């Protein structure tokens, strides 16, 4: 049986529990549109501690309950789709009752749904005692979404292609405090890709830039191509980025296609103050110290 590294499994009686962490994008370049309708990207995925929690126990059928009433709990949910895909691929004749404690805002560019799906593959692989390999799970993960494979490993990685071609940044350490602010705005990924401007040439080597931890270079070269269209349509997100910079962030950016905006701080106290101010405005927030 393949057990993923750093999977955060907790076993209580017969119930398995695992966290499903968010990510931020350290730079996000949209290079070209492909003939299959997808886009070729370059980005650095960085996992953070903000996380949902998924539990699973044995059952006759696949069922999901969720603490977030606005999310579907049937076949439209990526967790259920992951379970169905795993069952079909390995010929499993059992089910599972799963509960998703939803903490991460959806539509925020944090990868919450993708992380939930990856965690479902991992937790059910263990629950059903399947002989899963890294390659087989990654292949299933890609069927669920372009960034789902990243959440199987959960380490900082340079991503190319649709986001599935991953090169881990070995031994990389993120030495800054982080503040994440999510306004009550939901952005369609499809809308964002329709409005983004693609550019292939003159792009920085994002992996090399991130590795330097040189915040001057980050400000110059770590760009998110979705900021211009997203900020134009939702000015509150531009104001959020400006507020983080005024609060002392040395670098700030939209993550993914939004609506999450994060600030990188050299002072943890400033990061804490920034999220407190944003929370008072009704935003969902997360703050964490250096890793």
Catalytic residue, candidates 23, 87, 102, 241: 23
What are the beta bridge partners of residue 96?
A: 58, 62
What are the beta bridge partners of residue 220?
A: none
Let me know: does 163 contact 147? Beta carbons within 8 Å: yes
Q: In this structure, what token pair is assigned to residue 285? A: 């927030």
Strand 177-182 versus strand 165-168 pairing type: unpaired
147 is a catalytic site residue: yes
Let me know: does 26 contact 212? Beta carbons within 8 Å: no
Catalytic residue, candidates 52, 116, 147, 225: 147
23 is a catalytic site residue: yes
- The residues annotated with a catalytic role in the active site are 23, 147
């Amino acid at each position: 049986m393949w057990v993923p590294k750093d999977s955060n499994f907790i076993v209580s009686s017969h119930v398995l529990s695992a966290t499903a962490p968010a990510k931020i994008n350290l730079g996000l370049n949209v290079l070209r549109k492909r003939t299959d309708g997808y886009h070729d990207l370059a980005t650095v995925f960085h996992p953070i501690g903000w996380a949902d929690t998924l539990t699973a126990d044995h059952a006759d059928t696949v069922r999901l309950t969720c603490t977030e009433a606005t999310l579907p709990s049937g076949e439209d949910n990526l967790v259920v789709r992951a379970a169905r895909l795993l069952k079909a691929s390995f010929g499993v004749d059992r089910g599972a009752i799963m509960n998703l404690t939803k903490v991460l805002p959806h539509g925020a560019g944090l990868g919450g749904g993708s992380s939930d799906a990856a965690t479902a593959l991992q937790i059910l692989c263990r629950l059903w005692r399947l002989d899963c390999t890294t390659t087989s799970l990654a292949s299933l993960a890609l069927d669920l979404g372009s960034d789902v494979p990243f959440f199987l490993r959960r380490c900082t990685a340079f991503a190319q292609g649709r986001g599935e071609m991953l090169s881990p940044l070995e031994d990389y350490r993120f030495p800054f405090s982080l503040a994440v602010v999510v306004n009550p705005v939901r952005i369609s990924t499809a809308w964002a890709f329709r409005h983004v401007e693609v550019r292939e040439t003159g792009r920085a080597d994002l992996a090399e830039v991130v590795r330097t931890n040189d915040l001057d270079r980050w400000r110059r070269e770590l760009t998110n191509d979705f900021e211009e269209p997203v900020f134009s349509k939702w000015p509150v997100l531009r104001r959020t980025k400006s507020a983080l910079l005024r609060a002392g962030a040395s670098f700030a950016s939209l993550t993914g296609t939004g609506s999450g905006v994060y600030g990188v701080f050299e002072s943890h106290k400033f990061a804490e103050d920034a999220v407190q101010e944003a929370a008072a405005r009704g935003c969902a927030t997360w703050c964490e110290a250096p890793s």
